Structure 1
């Protein structure tokens, strides 16, 4: 089957930005640095919770900010904030209050960076010669792979430089991320389209912008909201489990070198797995990917509670690979239903729920570890992917009802054909081929049925 190969200069610059913005030499040893500065393990956990709470609380206003200034300018600002925080950690006094403030600011920078990157990737896909449904997973998977590969290499370099100087590690990271911020307007693609008369009408009706955004959000339906919650719970399961897996493996008597090799494999799989996303998404629907991934995660967490180190290693490696592909599929399903005029704001809402789920999961996993021990806590934590699985089933039912209401004749969009060669299609939520244009047209049709939204705004 043929696949699009976007190798334009524009995409090369996009991947260069991904590399610069992820040159984070401190990423693999930042916990050691915080302990070195005199903070306790509990205080480090509090800082991690703070950063995700900050991302969560700032995601919605950040979304409005992205809509106002543009995703490219916002991405540059986010990188500059992260750069300042990294260098600030070197200059900061060993005070928990000061570090809490830095991590709070860091969360805002990350919220701007992550949300604007997602908007940029979707807009770049929309501008490509391929349909967005085909181009987005390719761009997203390669962007993720470049980012993960850069982080992996940066972690190794950071580990080698650490004996020389902690300051050198953080300053180099700060300079690289700052450079990405300065060059953002050069490296990142511009908006999807030039201003039109309709855009001017929208600007003139600025007093209705916020209302129309929330109307758009409501019009997207309960199935979209549940899909977002499922994605949030998936991230909420993976992130704390992969972080705490180091402690779980240690309590299961795995030697430190074996744990280090396992963690290195986690980052390697994190770089390679996203590259499979376009191929996998052509063969399997989002429903198949999400349901199978959540089931495997739930079973894996239960197996981890058995206390067998070798089994846990396998579970950790699976958790570092398959969900990466599923996350890209869910991201596309979520983004493809968002009207383009409000993509920044609604992406901010999505970021809010995902970050809130991760922050809450950190606290829950930590509390379970205190109550049941490292291994047993994983088994209890399996309730999270099980809950996501149930919600996803409900989301599919609501989605079918919504689709039947919008398309009473039961006809679906035709498969997308590329280059006049082999017919290709990206599987939708339930397995049907669906184009992004068709989805947005239906979304706009629903918007027009809501009072207070003009044709220009819809």
Structure 2
């Protein structure tokens, strides 16, 4: 394992440790924020991400990935501070600001970090292993989230300030780690890069020329936004049914723990089943499970929610590889940010809609609608995925045969 990738793994572990991840909705509810208002906050977060996403992607292609990641992580630190202030004196208006800042930070990070990882793997001669590397990168993030979930419930017993303060400290350490990584920027000898106008022109050309990429990006965004909009309300459901805060946190952490295994071994599953089957089966199974919630008893709902998240975690590294393959460095972050923009725009619509459904009807009704929304992505993901599979067959050995040493 190369030093650069090892440090990226360490950065990932530190930067995705959010001690409030499983309980932030509980924190908001304890400050008199309703289901609908939680949905509004999530919608605002993704609206901020949507409007900042594309400019941030272009900026990442212009100035480099690392600088943009660092700026984004400072926004995440500011989010933790603002959340704490909102609970102590600012109220809902400060929560609004916190979610906007978090959304901008997410926009800065989303296209840059996966581009940085892909380019680092290629520089070290490990491009054929990228699905494996991306699987582990994602698994580390899930593991960090799981750790945060597990510990967050215990920290909350001490004080909410510990929850948000500890998160901010770890994110600052993560910033220090990634600052030590040298970036090989796609630039000329004088450090210059393509103009923003050229980046925009090339990006437009990519999507005009490659219709299957545009369709794939839409399918990925629809599947991810639907599953996340559903899952965000699960902790509040558990609390409403009598779960304690720490038990809810433990349940969600267990789900994340299973997701670590699913993410880390996703590349093996792809090797056994083939990409085409994965792109058809996983969204279809997720849709079926969500529809089943409409008739399921309460005790099985957390189990189904865990399974749905596991399916997304298996698919995520494969989707990342398919998008990265075949796009050039000068528009890489912009293309990834376009996918994230679509995710954010759909989330702006789905988060409050799902919150409204849960408030006005039931959690089961909301899950039923989410299941129906998951039916379309399998049709949108398949064409591009099949093209990449065909190309891979002509490149050489499968990923599993490349040494990890």
TM range (shorter): 0.7 to 0.9
Match of 1:129 among 115, 125, 129: 125
Query: Is this contact kept in 2: 1:415–1:424, CA < 8 A?
Result: no
Q: Is 1:231 aligned to residue 224 of structure 2?
A: no
CA distance in 2, matches of 1:412, 1:26: 42
5+ residue gaps, structure 1, are 1-6, 404-410, 418-422, 427-458
Query: Is this contact kept in 1: 2:25–2:235, CA < 8 A?
Result: no
* Aligned residue in 2 for 1:166: 160
CA distance in 2, matches of 1:29, 1:319: 20
Match of 2:108 among 102, 105, 112: 112
Query: Is this contact kept in 2: 1:303–1:312, CA < 8 A?
Result: no
Question: Residue deviations 1:369-405, cap 9 Å, x none?
Answer: 2443211332233220112234345x469x77xx9xx
Stretch moving more, 148-157 or 327-336? 148-157
* Aligned residue in 1 for 2:338: 349
Match of 2:252 among 263, 266, 275: 263
* Aligned residue in 2 for 1:47: 41
Bigger RCO of structures 1 and 2 (CA < 8 A, at least 6 apart) = 2
Match of 2:350 among 361, 381, 384: 361
Aligned ranges for residues 257-406 of structure 1 at < 5 Å? 262-392=251-381, 395=383
* Aligned CA distance change for structure 1 residues 146 and 396 (closer, same or farther; 3 Å): closer
CA distance in 2, matches of 1:326, 1:89: 32
* Aligned CA distance change for structure 1 residues 25 and 340 (closer, same or farther; 3 Å): same
* Aligned residue in 2 for 1:216: 206
Stretch moving more, 114-123 or 81-90? 81-90
Greater per-residue helix proportion:
2
Question: Residue deviations 1:38-78, cap 9 Å, x none?
Answer: 44443232212211221122110010111121101111111
* Aligned residue in 1 for 2:403: none
Question: Residue deviations 1:309-351, cap 9 Å, x none?
Answer: 3543442232121221112111211121322221111211111
TM-score by length of 1: 0.78
* Aligned residue in 2 for 1:439: none
TM-score by length of 2: 0.87
SS of alignment partner, residue 386 of structure 1:
coil
* Aligned residue in 1 for 2:90: 94
5+ residue gaps, structure 2, are 401-405
* Aligned residue in 2 for 1:62: 56
Count of aligned pairs: 396
Query: Is this contact kept in 2: 1:56–1:356, CA < 8 A?
Result: yes
Kindly report the root-mean-square deviation, in angstroms, between the aligned alpha carbons of the 2 structures. Answer: 2.8
* Aligned CA distance change for structure 1 residues 259 and 175 (closer, same or farther; 3 Å): closer
Give 1 or 2 for the bigger CA radius of gyration.
1
Query: Is this contact kept in 1: 2:150–2:253, CA < 8 A?
Result: no
Q: Is 1:25 aligned to residue 14 of structure 2?
A: no
